[in-house]
Chains A and B, each alone.
Chain A
Amino acid sequence: MSHSATAIMSIEKPQVEVEHLNLFYGNSQALTDMSFGIPASQVTALIGPSGCGKSTFLRCINRMNDLVEGLRIEGLISIDGENINDPSLDVIELRRKVGMVFQKWNPFPKSIYENVIYGLRIAGIKDRNVLDQAVEQSLKRAALWDEVKDRLQQSAMGLSGGQMQRLCIARAVAVNPEIILMDEPCSALDPRSTSRIEELIRELRGEYTIIIVTHNMQQAARISDYTAYMYLGELIEYGPTQKLFTVPERKETEDYITGRFG
């Protein structure tokens, strides 16, 4: 590849390590030779124009792409040194470790309470005290507790969009993952709800490794520690957010973040 090695910063002791990742949908290649490391307990943002493969890459990390037919992966993704595509690895275990929040909020048509503990129930936890505690903790962590504590048994369908998205975050947090993947979590929300979620992400930083895909460059600048810029399935530049947004090393990055392109 033509990219200079200098544009992709290497991280010491990365939690998620990507080495020469290539991804194909049938005959077309969606990701080309991506290699970088994502640090633990930090917020890493993936930016780039639509269709550049950000979400596809994100979905590789918890193997959501398993569901897609005709998809093929080459290269290596490892979490804590473990190859996640190893056939002997249990994808259920992986997903317990790597939570995910989607672009479009997707609470289940159950009560708020049941939504939060869904992952725990799946894991086989039945102790009412544990569940009650998890609900309170997770909702507090998702900054939703005060708004819903009196109606936990009501349907989650009665919440507003922003509340539903925070509920989805609470749901992901409840199973106590190490990594949380966020796929444009604010793109369908109004500015007020967006700022609440951003605030939340800043609070969760340190406890969880957060990898967030965003369209919104200001958002990436506001909330992330590291930023990766992708274009047409390739990783163009990766480094500390501040540096990438102020002194990008590559021309393409500069064009994109200054709005000349994208």
Chain B
Amino acid sequence: MTALLEARGVVKRFGGLTAVDGVDISVGAGEMVGLIGPNGSGKTTLFDCLSRVLDIDGGLIEFDGTDIGRHRPHDVARLGMSRTFQLIRVYRDLSVAENMHLSIQWGSLGVPQLFARTDAAARRRADELLDFLLLGRLRHERAGNLSGGQRRLLEIGMSLMSEPRLVLLDEATSGVNPTLAADIADRLRAVNSERQVAFLLVEHNVQFVADLCERVVVLDQGAVLAEGTPGEVTQDPAVIEAYFGDPGDDTAGDDRVGNSPAGAGDGTAP
């Protein structure tokens, strides 16, 4: 499979702390890849590096063969990589539809279109996506009035509005009830199969990742700890130790609860 996103040796430091330490990761066209790891392992920082929200201190990031290491975030978005955030970023004073209209492919607009209202094609696409994401009846609702799960769906819809080839999804099921999480998984699977959109998912809900992804990358302390199928990584002793800590250590952390690889069978979220 041709790599759509290829990152090699990515390093990000904050002062003396190395948050991302020489990470290699790739996502093929139309592929769904999971990125898991204990709290503080560098998953979201890596996302920020890949989407160019943060500058990197070393390494190479290519998207569809283009070196994007010095691109600005809007350039990356215009190349076809969109993302969501761990802390939801929707425009809460705007309506659901207006949020979608703001997430168009801005790179294709000339000056006349910039000073025009949202066109019929963009409105139609927004309506289709909102229906697809079960938000159609809320299109005129103020985004700030939506529930946390609905806002997650809206943010996913916004990330799909620009017809991206790769979406970085950060904690798509955080704060979402299991029923809605299952709906989100269904929608993502459908988008992937019908529109050939690739996904890189950061998740604490290992079951969610295992259900969706063929390949999973595990980060620990900013470095890649393991990579393989969901079955392989959840059985990897190093991964289990990263989540559970030293079996002899009674002070092992909170990751024991709910979001460990061993919890892949129960599908619980932290």
A binds B: no
Q: Which residues of A contact B (CB under 8 A)?
A: none
Q: Which residues of B contact A (CB under 8 A)?
A: none
